[in-house]
Amino acid sequence: MTTAPRDPVSHPVALVPARHRVSKPVRRHIAAPWWFAAPAMLLFAFVVLVPSTRGVYYAFTDWDGLDPRFSFVGLDNFGAMFRDPDAVQAIWHTLLIAVAVTVIQNGFGLLLALGVNSVIKSRNVLRVFLFAPAVVTPIVTAYLWRNLLSPEGAVNSLLGAVGLGSWQQDWLGDPDIALWSVVGVVVWQFGGYSMVIFLAGLQSVPKEIYEAADIDGAGPFRRFWSVTRPLLAPALTINLMLSIIGGIKLFDQVYALTGGGPGHATDTLSTLIYKDAFTLGEFGYSIALAVVLTIIVAVASAGQYFFLSRNERASS
Amino acid sequence: MNRYRRRTFGLELVMIAIALVVGFPLYVLVNLAVRAPSDNSSPLRPTTSPTLDNFTQAWQQGGLGGALANSVLVTACSVFIVLAVSAFAAYPLARATARWSRGMFLLIMLGLVVPFQLASLPLYQTMRDLGLLGTPWALILFYSGLQVPFTTFLYVGFLRALPRDFEEAALIDGCTPLKGFLYVVFPMLRPITVTALVLNAVAVWNDFFTPLLYLSGSAQQTMPVAIAGFVGQYVTDWNLVFAALAISIVPILAVYFALQRSIINGFAGGLKG
pLDDT in tens, A301-313: 888 888 877 777 7
Q: Which residues 211-230 of A have a C-beta within 8 angstroms of B?
A: 211, 214
Asked if residue B220 is part of any domain, the answer here is: yes
Predicted confidence band at A64 (pLDDT cuts at 50, 70, 90)? Answer: confident
- Nearest-CA distance B269 → chain A (Å): 7
**Minimum Cα–Cα distance from B129: chain A residue:** A66
d(CA A58, CA A72) in angstroms, rounded, equals 8
Cα–Cα distances in angstroms (integers) from residue A263 to residues A77, A251, A260, in the given order: 23, 17, 7
Q: Is the pLDDT of residue A148 over 80?
A: yes
Task: Count the Cβ atoms, other than its own, within 10 Å of residue B223.
Answer: 31
Q: Give me the sign of the Cα torsion angle A236, B112, B116, B118.
A: positive
Which residues pair with residue A61 across a beta bridge? A72
- Nearest-CA distance A1 → chain B (Å): 22
Using the Cβ of B175 and the Cβ atoms of chain A, whether some distance falls under 8 Å is answered with no
Judge whether B208 and A274 are in contact, CB under 8 Å: no
Predicted confidence band at A16 (pLDDT cuts at 50, 70, 90)? Answer: very low
Residue B273, pLDDT score: 44
d(CA A173, CA A263) in angstroms, rounded, equals 10
Span A264-285, pLDDT tens digits: 899 999 999 998 888 888 888 9
Across A165-174, A201-210, B71-80, B225-234, the highest mean pLDDT is recorded for B71-80
Judge whether B239 and B33 are in contact, CB under 8 Å: yes
Asked if residue B180 is part of any domain, the answer here is: yes
- SS3 of residue A2 by DSSP: coil
- SS3 of residue A61 by DSSP: strand
Q: Is the pLDDT of residue A6 over 50?
A: no
Nearest one of B57, B37, B60, B35 to B46, comparing CA atoms: B35
The amino acid present at B193, given as its one-letter code, is T
Which residues pair with residue A72 across a beta bridge? A61
CB contact under 8 A, B88 and A199: no
Residue A30, pLDDT score: 53
On the 0-12 / 13-18 / 19+ scale of CB atoms within 10 A, A76 is middle
Mean pLDDT of the region B115-139: 90
d(CA B261, CA B265) in angstroms, rounded, equals 6
Q: Is the pLDDT of residue A113 over 90?
A: yes
Asked if residue B95 is part of any domain, the answer here is: yes
DSSP class of A224: I
For residue B186, the number of C-alpha atoms closer than 13 Å in the C-beta half-sphere is 15
Using the Cβ of A199 and the Cβ atoms of chain B, whether some distance falls under 8 Å is answered with yes
d(CA B137, CA A36) in angstroms, rounded, equals 24
Minimal Cβ distance to B12: which of A120, A139, A274: A120
Using the Cβ of A49 and the Cβ atoms of chain B, whether some distance falls under 8 Å is answered with yes
- Residues of chain B in contact with residue A156, where contact means CB-CB under 8 angstroms, are none
Mean pLDDT taken over chain B = 88
For residue A39, the number of C-alpha atoms closer than 13 Å in the C-beta half-sphere is 16
CB contact under 8 A, A197 and B272: yes
ipTM comes to: 0.89
d(CA B228, CA B230) in angstroms, rounded, equals 5
Higher-confidence residue of A25 and B209: namely B209
Q: Which residues 92-121 of A have a C-beta within 8 angstroms of B?
A: 112, 115-116, 118-121
Q: What is the CA radius of gyration of chain B?
A: 24
Span A208-238, pLDDT tens digits: 887 788 788 777 788 788 888 888 888 888 8
As a whole-number percent, the residues of chain B with pLDDT over 70 amount to 97
- Nearest-CA distance A143 → chain B (Å): 8
Alpha-helical regions (H) of chain B = 6-33, 53-61, 64-95, 99-110, 116-129, 136-146, 148-160, 165-172, 177-179, 186-188, 190-206, 209-214, 223-233, 238-272
DSSP class of A132: G
Minimal Cβ distance to B208: which of A139, A161, A290: A139
Asked if residue B52 is part of any domain, the answer here is: no
Buried b or exposed e, range B168-182, using 16+ CB within 10 angstroms: bebbeeebebeebbe
Q: Is the pLDDT of residue B35 over 90?
A: no
Q: Is the pLDDT of residue B223 over 50?
A: yes
Mean pLDDT taken over chain A = 84
Asked if residue B217 is part of any domain, the answer here is: yes
Residue B259, pLDDT score: 87
Nearest one of A62, A96, A99 to A78, comparing CA atoms: A62
CB contact under 8 A, A33 and B181: yes
Asked if residue B44 is part of any domain, the answer here is: no
Helix (H) or strand (E) holding A108: helix A85-116
Asked if residue B184 is part of any domain, the answer here is: yes
Judge whether A270 and A250 are in contact, CB under 8 Å: yes
Residue B3, pLDDT score: 67
Span A126-142, pLDDT tens digits: 999 999 999 999 999 99
Span B77-114, pLDDT tens digits: 999 999 999 999 999 898 877 788 888 898 998 888 88
Domain that holds residue B90: 63-229+249-272
Minimal Cβ distance to A297: which of B113, B209, B269: B113
Mean pLDDT of the region B163-168: 84
Model-level pTM?
0.86
φ, ψ of residue B167 to 5 degrees: the values are -70, -35
Q: Is the pLDDT of residue A79 over 60?
A: yes
d(CA A183, CA A136) in angstroms, rounded, equals 17
Predicted confidence band at B271 (pLDDT cuts at 50, 70, 90)? Answer: low
- Residues of chain B in contact with residue A295, where contact means CB-CB under 8 angstroms, are none
| CATH number for the domain that contains residue B171 | 1.10.3720.10
CB contact under 8 A, A39 and B91: no
Higher-confidence residue of B249 and A205: namely B249
Predicted confidence band at A32 (pLDDT cuts at 50, 70, 90)? Answer: low
Q: Give me the sign of the Cα torsion angle B214, B271, A190, A174.
A: negative
d(CA A295, CA A277) in angstroms, rounded, equals 19
Residue A70, pLDDT score: 81
Q: Is the pLDDT of residue A3 over 60?
A: no
- SS3 of residue B164 by DSSP: coil
Using the Cβ of A305 and the Cβ atoms of chain B, whether some distance falls under 8 Å is answered with no
Mean pLDDT of the region A201-205: 83
Q: Per mean pLDDT, which range of A6-15, A106-115, B106-115, B228-237 is the poorest? A: A6-15
**Minimum Cα–Cα distance from A237: chain B residue:** B272
Q: Is the pLDDT of residue A27 over 60?
A: no
d(CA B70, CA B221) in angstroms, rounded, equals 7
Residue A17, pLDDT score: 45
Question: Which of A6, A36, A131, A305 to mutate to test binding with chain B, by most B CBs within 10 Å of its CB?
Answer: A36
Predicted confidence band at A76 (pLDDT cuts at 50, 70, 90)? Answer: confident
Nearest one of A248, A84, A315, A278 to B214, comparing CA atoms: A278
CB contact under 8 A, B104 and A293: no
Asked if residue B200 is part of any domain, the answer here is: yes
CB pairs under 8 A between A and B: 284
Domain count, chain B: 1
Question: Which of A147, A198, A276, A297 to mutate to test binding with chain B, by most B CBs within 10 Å of its CB?
Answer: A147
Nearest one of B100, B104, B108 to B154, comparing CA atoms: B108
